[in-house]
Amino acid sequence: MKKNITIRDIAEALHTTPSTVSRALAGSPRIGESMKGAVRAMAESMGYIPNARAVSLRTGKGSLIGVIVPSINRDFFSSIIDGIESVASEKGYNIIIGQSRDDVEREKALVDEMFRGRVDGLIVCLAYTTSKYDHFMPIWRSGLPLIFCDRSPKNLTTARVNIDDYQAARSSAEHLIKQGCRRIAFFGGAENVDVFFERKKGFLDVMHKYGLPVIPDLVYDDAINFEKGQAAARKVLALKKSEYPDGLFACEDYTAIGALTVFRENGFRVPEDLCICGFGNEEIASYVSPGISSIDQSSFEQGYQASLLFFEAQKSSDPSKFTTMITLPSRLVIRGSSMRHPL
Amino acid sequence: MKKNITIRDIAEALHTTPSTVSRALAGSPRIGESMKGAVRAMAESMGYIPNARAVSLRTGKGSLIGVIVPSINRDFFSSIIDGIESVASEKGYNIIIGQSRDDVEREKALVDEMFRGRVDGLIVCLAYTTSKYDHFMPIWRSGLPLIFCDRSPKNLTTARVNIDDYQAARSSAEHLIKQGCRRIAFFGGAENVDVFFERKKGFLDVMHKYGLPVIPDLVYDDAINFEKGQAAARKVLALKKSEYPDGLFACEDYTAIGALTVFRENGFRVPEDLCICGFGNEEIASYVSPGISSIDQSSFEQGYQASLLFFEAQKSSDPSKFTTMITLPSRLVIRGSSMRHPL
DNA sequence: CTGAAAGCGCTTACAG
DNA sequence: CTGAAAGCGCTTACAG
């Protein structure tokens, strides 16, 4: 490891002191213009790059946002990160990223690690299995901003950005019904996760409103990816033909696509025999055939707003008491998988 | 911002000194077992979390890897990041991520920022437009590991991980020819980018080997995304029917899919009239219909290996002279878009 | 077995 | 307009 240039090196080269160099570089009015010029030129020519760790240790500010997501490698989350990064880089902040891999233990470890690394706060999409929130205590206790994005704690008043999953689910369910579906299957996720709870509630309320039966054999609460979507579809196929669904409400696009492949392999025509709606509007939803109708969650926008919220919280007198909640509009994007009648 | 617990606080609570607390926490054999126990218990109960910035300022080691990619929000890059993160988190390292958005200027700014933040080194997928590498000087100069991943500097001996783009391109081109294609279009990327240069070379060499003409009207060197793929396809459609291609070699999956949509809208049957091969084996390649044949670039594995290389470089006596290059195997995944004859 | 002191690279009250 | 000194939170030679 070679030695790096420090302000002391610059000071020595100019026969002045570190104090003066520091001030000159910061553009302090206390330093004369000629000195400023000389310092800057010297810093430039020596290839000086300030040591952010020393600065942050001294000032307590670090220009670092910790971001924790279940997985980097999913369109939804990487778009959120994209949104966060867009605002952050604008403000001169860097982001440090950790994957919880939907494991609370890893999430907890990441919170600690990031706190150690003295991030200026955290933006978090909760792991699928997270139902207790004690591991965020160090952040709250130290008064750092903590913003949740999309997957947020249930029954807890904390700053967050999300979409109105309940309303979104309602619009999706109503759409299926208007397409003529009567026996609608529900492939959802664990109800302890806020968003899945809301989606199911929206679905159930609409079914009730239209006086349609919710058929237990067609309801699955652990079908949140491609494989599990396939598995649930296979279970449905084990029913008698007369009990087959004519509609599918899936809580994730991957679920919907998994189910689509199985149903089509088994002779279902989509949307004629079975209308399918997904959730999330992942890029692939528009590439499969037929395209999957889906709820657009404005993932980039969610990240973007969460990042803005972060900086707002930071400015507030006590960030740990900052509890602004933003709900972004969502919209149903209708595609071939549920379009029996042109709109 | 509330006050954080420091080793001094623990020391005071136990009527001892910071030195002892530091040693006890580090498990130094110089401290007695009873004192260690007391220190650990107190640290635990006070909710002590070490300040990594202070540690790294003192020790010069920081447990931070800087990662620069063109875009987070693409399956290929996010898989690479996933691979990097997997190794890093195993070793107790965090990663800090920046998006160059394929802009050299932003890439340069990110290198500086990250160096400022005193990362322990960098793993980089170059921006599309990067053809000079001076902005990596601060990293080299300070002797930090710098590993390139997939998109690497041309004509420069630096540590890197990539696949053999040349061979991969050859296998893809040969496959098209074996499917009976004779007039093969080429939709590529800027040749100053290593990988695109190699892919084109592979394509040209195979065409030459089989004595097939490379038709200038069917060659495009700036078609590296969905829209540009569509645009290039439209230009091809402006040719006379007799000049239409019967095969398409695309240097990106998005290119291939963009072209696919345009060609099909214009009555081309794929693969009967036109065989298409993409590159990258993005997730969507398998979801479109017909599926796009593509070169699997083992993106996760590339990131994984780059991360391992990083730690190897770090251990070497002079990381800036560490120039191990790893070439991973790639393979052609054949799907409907190019399968005229079953294999 | 434990402590006092220096120092990593900065910034900033304090002093002149 | 500029400098000397303290201190952010640690670790680690040096000393006992």
| Peptide bond connecting B290 to the previous residue in cis, omega within 30 degrees of 0 | yes
The residue assigned the tokens 């965020």 is: A136
Q: Is B328 on the interface with A (CB under 8 A)?
A: no
Amino acid identity, position B198: E
* B66 → chain A, closest CA residue: A96
> Distance from CA of residue A332 to its chain's centroid?
19
Domain of A242, CATH number, reads 3.40.50.2300
Which chain B residue is nearest to residue A313, measuring alpha carbons? B1
Of B168, B151, B155, B180, nearest in space to B205 by CA: B168
In a domain, A55, yes or no: no
Cis check for the bond before B271: say yes or no (omega within 30 of 0).
yes
Q: What is the pLDDT of residue B343?
A: 66
**Is A101 in the same domain as A30?**
no
Tell me how far apart the alpha carbons of residues B228 and B194 are, in angstroms, rounded to a whole number: 20
- The token pair at A85 is 């990064």
Residues 45-74 of B with CB under 8 A from A: 47, 49-54, 56-57, 60, 62-64, 71-74
pLDDT at B1 over 60: no
Instruction: Write the single-letter amino acid at B130.
Output: T
Task: Give me the residues paired with residue A331 across strands.
Answer: A296
Q: Look up the pTM and report it.
A: 0.85
Whether B4 and chain A come into contact, CB under 8 Å, resolves to yes
Residue A56 lies in a domain: no
Strands (E), B42-99: 64-69, 94-99
Instruction: Kindly state the DSSP code that residue B28 receives in the 8-state scheme.
Output: -
Judgement on whether residues A250 and A132 belong to the same structural domain of the protein: no
Tens of pLDDT, residues A285-340: 887 778 899 999 999 999 999 999 999 998 887 887 899 999 999 999 999 999 99
Separation CA A283–CA B134 (nearest Å):
36
The C1' atom of D8 and the CA atom of A58 lie apart, in whole Å, by: 4
Q: Are residues A271 and A128 in the same domain?
A: no
Same domain for B169 and B293, yes or no, is yes
Distances (CA, A) of B152 to B193, B197, B256, B295, B322: 8, 12, 23, 18, 15
**Nearest C-alpha of chain A: how many angstroms from B52?**
5
Q: Which among B79, B94, B141 is the nearest to A2, CB-wise?
A: B141
CA distance B193 to chain A (A): 24
Q: CA B172, CA B179: separation in Å to the nearest integer?
A: 11
In a domain, A343, yes or no: no
Whether pLDDT at A53 is above 90: no
For residue A209, being part of any structural domain is answered with: yes
Structure confidence at residue A2 (pLDDT): 58
Tens of pLDDT, residue by residue over A101-124, are 999 999 999 999 898 887 899 999
- On whether the CB atoms of residues A150 and A226 are closer than 8 A, the answer is no
CB proximity A81 to B under 8 Å: yes
- Are residues A210 and A199 located together in one domain of the fold? yes
Sheet with A184-187: strands ordered across: A219-220, A184-187, A247-250, A275-277
Q: Is residue B343 part of a domain?
A: no
Closest C1' nucleotide to A26's CA: C11
Nearest to A237 by CA among A259, A205, A207: A259
Spanning CA of A52 to C1' of D14, the rounded length in angstroms is 30
Residue B303 lies in a domain: yes
Tokens of A130: 């997270």
Query: Token pair of B127, please?
Result: 């921006």
Task: Tell me the two tokens of residue B99.
Answer: 């998006």
Q: Does residue B55 lie within any of the structural domains?
A: no
Q: Which of B97, B115, B283 sits opposite A95 (nearest CB)?
A: B97
Q: Identify the DSSP state of A65.
A: E
- H helix runs in A126-164, sequence order: 137-141
**DSSP result, B293-313:** BEEE--HHHHHHHHHHHHHHH
A169 with A292, same domain: the answer is: yes
**A182-241 residues touching B, CB cutoff 8 A:** none
Distance CA A285, CA A273 (A): 19
Report yes or no: A75 at the B interface, CB cutoff 8 Å: yes
Query: pLDDT tens-digit profile of A277-299?
Result: 999 998 888 877 788 999 999 99
**Selected residue of B78, B81, B108, B301 to mutate for chain A interface (largest A Cβ count, 10 A):** B78
User: Which residues, in sequence order, are bridge partners of residue A69?
Assistant: A99
Query: Are B53 and B63 in contact, with CB atoms under 8 Å apart?
Result: no
Are B19 and B140 part of one and the same domain?
no
A95 with A153, same domain? Answer: yes
Q: Tokens 């019967």 appear where?
A: B246
pLDDT for position A32? 85
A232 and A318 both lie in a single domain? no
Nearest nt to A33, CA vs C1'? D1
**Total length of chain B:** 343
Contact between chains at A72 and B52 (C-beta distance less than 8 A): no
A26: Cα separation from own chain's centroid: 36
Q: Is the peptide bond before B245 cis (omega within 30 degrees of 0)?
A: no
A226 and A275 inside one domain: yes
**SS3 assignment, position A67:** strand
How far apart CA B50 and CA B22 sit, in angstroms, is 10
* C1'-nearest nucleotide to the CA of A30: D1
The string of pLDDT tens digits covering residues B95-134 is: 999 999 999 999 999 999 898 887 899 999 999 888 899 9
Contact B88, A98 (CB under 8 A): no
**Smallest CA–C1' separation from A19, nucleotide:** D3
The separation between CA B235 and the C-alpha centre of its own chain, rounded to angstroms, equals 31
Assess whether A122 and A133 both reside in one domain: yes
Contact residues for B216 (Cβ-Cβ < 8 A; gap 6+):
none
pLDDT at B76 over 80: yes
Asked whether residue A210 falls in the same domain as residue A117, the answer is no
Q: Which domain range does residue A98 map to?
A: 62-163+298-329
Q: Which of residues 131-150 of B touch A (CB under 8 A)?
A: 137-138, 141-144
| Least confident residue range of A22-31, A103-112, A271-280, B221-230 | A22-31
Task: Classify residue A312 by burial, with Cβ atoms within 10 Å: 0-12, 13-18, 19+.
Answer: middle
Q: Is A4 on the interface with B (CB under 8 A)?
A: yes
For A110, the token pair is: 């990441």
Mutation to test the B interface, candidates A78, A112, A286, most B Cβ within 10 Å = A78
Q: How many beta-carbon contacts under 8 Å exist across A and B?
A: 139
Of all nucleotides in the shown strands, which has a C1' nearest the CA of B4? Answer: D9
A60/B51 Cβ within 8 A:
no
3-class secondary-structure state, position B38: helix
What average pLDDT does this structure show over A246-270? 94
Please answer yes or no on whether A47 and B73 come within 8 Å at the CB atom.
no
pLDDT in tens, A186-243: 999 998 888 899 999 999 999 999 999 999 999 999 999 889 999 999 999 999 999 9
pLDDT tens by residue, A70-81: 999 888 899 999
A273: closest CA among A157, A153, A181? A181
Q: Report the number of distinct structural domains present in chain A.
A: 3
Q: Which structure tokens are listed for B110? A: 């990110």
Please indicate, yes or no, if residue A174 is contained in any of the structural domains: yes
